[in-house]
Amino acid sequence: MFRNLDEGQLRAKTRELRTKILKMLCEAGSGHSGGSLSSIDILTVLYNKVMKHDPKNPKDPGRDRFVLSKGHVCPALYAVLADCGYFDESHLMTLRKYGSILQGHPYMHKTPGLDVSSGSLGQGLSVAVGMALGARMDKGGQRVYCLMGDGEQQEGQIWEAAMAGSHHKLDNLCAIVDQNRLQIDGFVKDVMNIEPLADKWASFNWNVIRCDGHDVASIEKAFAEAAACKGKPSVIIADTVKGKGVSFMENKCNWHGVAPNKEQLATAMGELECD
């Protein structure tokens, strides 16, 4: 495990990383604000309290694996990877620029610390299932984590992978759904309703855990429950708010794929510093 921050340190870290996400998006002039802000608490806990990983040895065979299936929220992952020391933080300001190691969607051949290139929604869980199967064959004790969006649950491939995960009893696999209830075209329930989501996952014989996706203690507890479950994979449904932490972004679908301008960034920084 890279670090072992306490609850107060984790809360401070998530606030710090939100500012970095917004700064890099503003500098890029494009990118995905809403989902990056809704998922950053989950990623912060995962990389600081849960996963076995070492920035000094990013290809360690014994490391846990992470798949960002909702690849468009990579600014959040990049902020976490830089904070952990996988690359210098100066790279954050090169997001989406020509020649940058930080592309608009994760590209494992350029960005240190990535295990998977992603971006096409619905595919990440299938990759994670394969990784979990391989880890079990290696008998190394590695765990595999996969972060998905709730709108992404509309993809059929998610449910094919869910069947495979339960069929093979992959208790070293933990999926996470960032349930911020919004996607690019509006509320998930209006585009294509996915509820009752917990019941759907349970019917596929997954261990279903719910948590507050912005409460670091609740998130940490959910990951511990997933690790303790034997004989089936686990899915954490994390209740979140799109654009969390910035009042004019929260619960607004138009902030799905929009970066703040300089004036909006200044307002957001003021809110985050007063949090």
Per residue in 48-105, pLDDT (tens digit) is 999 999 999 999 999 999 999 999 999 999 999 999 999 999 999 999 999 999 999 9
Instruction: Read off the pTM.
Output: 0.97
Question: How confident is the model over 145-159, as pLDDT tens digits?
Answer: 999 999 999 999 999
Q: Which of 43, 20, 41 is nearest to 31 (CA)?
A: 20
Report the pLDDT value the prediction gives residue 177, as an integer from 0 to 100. 99
Segment 187-210, tens digit of pLDDT: 999 999 999 999 999 999 999 999
- pLDDT classification of 3: cutoffs 50, 70, 90: confident
Band of residue 2 on the pLDDT scale cut at 50, 70, 90: low
Domains and CATH numbers, the chain: 7-274 (3.40.50.970)
Residue 44's pLDDT is: 98
Per-residue model confidence (pLDDT) at position 4: 77
pLDDT band at 275 (very low <50, low <70, confident <90, very high): low
Pair 200, 173: CB distance under 8 Å: no
